[in-house]
Structure 1
Amino acid sequence: MRKFLKFLVLGSFLLCLSGCGEDSLKNSQVYTTVYPIEYLVNYLYGEESNVSSIYPKGADVETYELTDKQKENYSKGKLFVYNGLTSEKELAREFLNQNSDLLLIDVAYGLNYEYALEELWLSPNNFLMLAKNIRNNLVDYTTSTVTVEAIEQKYEEIEETLSFMDAELRSVATDAKKDGTSTLVVSSSKLAFLENYGFNVIVLNGDISEDSLKNAFDEGTYTDIYLCDTDEKTEFITSLEEDYEANIISVDTLYTLSDEEANNNENYLTIMRDFIDHIRNTTLG
């Protein structure tokens, strides 16, 4: 009986060592790409590791190029989190060639987008799918049940928040339809995903004629234009603003967080809250 108890205690001890041991990724360097990915990794795992983006704050991600020295430094990290639907997959390949031990997470694995890349994080529902992919991979990589439980708890928190945002957008669209005010005039297809929430989206670089839009703004049918911060303010948009008093609403596409936003303690959730509030105010008043 005593021998059995010894084995039982020893087995429990070994089980605890395997499950309660220190996380193999703990305090490691994790690199990410665009801000929405950095935000999610930080939210889910930032307390266990050092998370930073390969892009400087306020950088133009579309034109920014890493130097060979930067690539060498970033490849020395423990984990690289990227979007495999973009050229970031080439960076992941380069980093892996320099460091065969590098762990990778493709946040967009199994996902796609309908109109433009930005909808992967500007749509709360899509952003939740990115969070789920990150959560699943982090859980696979970690060696500590304590850390797994912490990741799961953080995921449940962000899931609840994003699900509420998603439902809120749909509710605003439903109410706006009843009032006949569900039309949004936007600068590009980057915001066309809002059609999936129930809004009628007019894209300025689409097929609709400029004359009909001028008349609509002149008559007060439309009053606002959602202009993405990565889109050019064209002569036509300037004309609608100056000649027809169109109200320009700037939309932060969140590729990076500016120094000003960081200093003001803004983050993905606060910026998305402003975005949804603008939509609510312009459609429901």
Structure 2
Amino acid sequence: MKLRTGRRAAAALALLLATFTALSGCGEQKSTFVEGKVNVVTTFYPLYYLATEIGGDDANVVNLIPTGVEPHDWTPKSKDLQTASKAQLFIYNGAGLEGWAEDFLHGTGSNGGLKIVEASEGIALLSGNPEEEEDGDGDGEEHKHEEGDGHHHDADVDPHTWVSPKSALIMADNILQAFIQADPANEAAYEARYDDLQARLAELDRQFTQQLGAVPNKDIVVTHQAFGYMARDYGLNQVAIMGLSPEAEPRSQDLLDVAAFVKKNNVRTIFFEELVSNQLAKTISGETGAGIDVLSPIEGLTSKQEKDGETYITLMERNLQNLVKALQ
């Protein structure tokens, strides 16, 4: 298990842990523990989706990050510690996404009774933040290094593993194995539900491979550097206005470089995401004449998406439609 502690989360969690004992004795927090089921805590929506699909009726899955909340700067509350302390499984993404996880898990006081699942285990991680590197060709292209090539830094790991269906297949298998270990009596049921999910994810992977392999253009310009795994797995070139965090502030030179890249390469669409402002995409669009469209990193559902019954699969299918349309 590999955990990384975020700088900004540390101070908040110190206060959180200090107040946990008093709060947990008040009896005001509603328990989310369900007898007779495997109680699971996931950190954000993609993991919640995979866990609920595999766990089915045999699991009670609680997701920590609420609908409509961007996960990069979210930190847990005392009620989240209480929820996790009663669970059998804690599923987090890893790869540096949940900088608060290490202190949080110490605070649960589970004494080894909580199984920790790093869903991204086994995925070859991307590293390298173009905000902190020289862009030698001046065209806004990102430069990444594979983990293990001597350039890997924890602060620069790209955590957005789930945005590629190939990664989602690995993550689903990791979650299946955790369910089987926690509840071997229901292994057959978990495997049956996993087989159904695996078939849907494999079909999604097949569609991405076939359709993106056939488009004539490969450059995608995005506001947030969240699509590196998708780009790597399906032969695209990601050019990001901002870095690994959607709240990173781009430099004026970054905007000029991206605008120059868009013009030089006849990029037709600037992609933005639902949970953050589309102002930067509009700025580049106004400068270059390119259109704008949504490419979702699926870090969480909006309230409307939740109401409409959208899922990881349906949102990824829409991503593929928007990509194919933009890259013709």
Which piece of structure 1 moves more, 215-224 or 151-160?
215-224
1:156 to 189, 195, 214: 195
The 5-angstrom pairing of residues 198-213 of structure 1 reads 198-205=235-242
For residues 49 and 174 of structure 1, do their structure 2 counterparts lie closer, same or farther at Cα, with a shift above 3 Å needed? closer
Q: Structure 1 residues 136, 104: CA separation in 2 closer, same or farther (over 3 Å shift)?
A: same
For the pair 1:263 / 2:275, whether they are aligned, the reply is no
Deviates further, 195-204 or 152-161? 195-204
**2:282 maps to 1:238:** yes
| Greater Cα shift, 125-134 or 80-89 | 80-89
Which structure 2 residues correspond to residues 72-221 of structure 1 after superposition, within 5 A? 72-86=82-96, 87=99, 88-95=101-108, 97-98=109-110, 100-115=112-127, 116-118=158-160, 120-144=161-185, 147-176=186-215, 179=216, 181-193=217-229, 194-205=231-242, 214=259, 217=262, 221=266
Compare CA radii of gyration and give the structure with the larger one.
1
Partner of 1:223: 268
Change in 2 beyond 3 A, CA 1:102/1:242: same
Q: 1:48 Cα deviation (Å)?
A: 0.8
Following superposition, the deviation at residue 245 of structure 1 comes to 2.9
Residues 184 and 202 in structure 1, CA contact (< 8 A), matched pair in contact too: yes
1:46-85 mapped onto 2 (5 Å cutoff): 46-85=56-95
Q: Is the 8 A contact 1:75 1:99 kept in 2?
A: no
Unaligned runs of 5+ in 1: 1-24
Partners of 2:320 and 2:206 in 1: CA distance: 11
Change (3 A) 1:61 1:182: closer
Cα distance change of structure 1 residues 205 and 264 upon mapping to structure 2, 3 Å threshold: closer
Per-residue deviation, 1:39: 0.5
Name the amino acid aligned to 1:107. A
Whether the aligned pair in 2 keeps the contact of 1:188 and 1:231 (CA below 8 Å) is no
2:7 matched to which residue of 1? none
1:27 lines up with 2:37 in the alignment: yes
8 Å Cα contact 1:227/1:233 also seen in 2? yes
Give the structure 2 partner of residue 3 of structure 1: none
| Contact 2:259/2:287 (8 A) holds in 1 | no
Q: TM-score by structure 1 length?
A: 0.77
Q: Report the Cα offset of residue 58 of structure 1.
A: 1.5
The residue correspondences of 1:33-44 to structure 2 (distance < 5 A) are 33-44=43-54
> SS of the counterpart of 1:46?
helix
How big is each residue's C-alpha offset from its partner over 1:36-72, in whole Å with a ceiling of 9 and x where there is no partner? Answer: 1111110000311211101221223223222234312
Contact 1:128 1:159 in 2 (8 A): yes
CA distance in 1, matches of 2:277, 2:213: 31
Q: Which deviates more from structure 2 when the two are superposed, residues 126-135 or residues 224-233?
A: 224-233
Q: TM-score, normalised by structure 2?
A: 0.68
Instruction: Please provide the CA RMSD for this pair.
Output: 2.8
State how many pairs are aligned: 252
Are 2:122 and 2:170, in contact at CA under 8 Å, matched by a contact in 1?
no
Deviation at 1:160, TM superposition (A): 1.8
Q: Which secondary structure does the structure 2 equivalent of 1:62 belong to?
A: helix
What is the CA deviation profile of residues 171-227 of structure 1, one whole-angstrom value per residue up to 9, with x for unaligned ones?
223212xx3x22222224311331431123333358997557546655881110122
Of 85-94 and 123-132, the range deviating more from structure 2: 85-94
* 8 Å contact kept, 1:83–1:89: no
TM-superposed CA distance for 1:233, in Å, is 4.4
Amino acid at match of 2:123: L
Higher helix share: 1
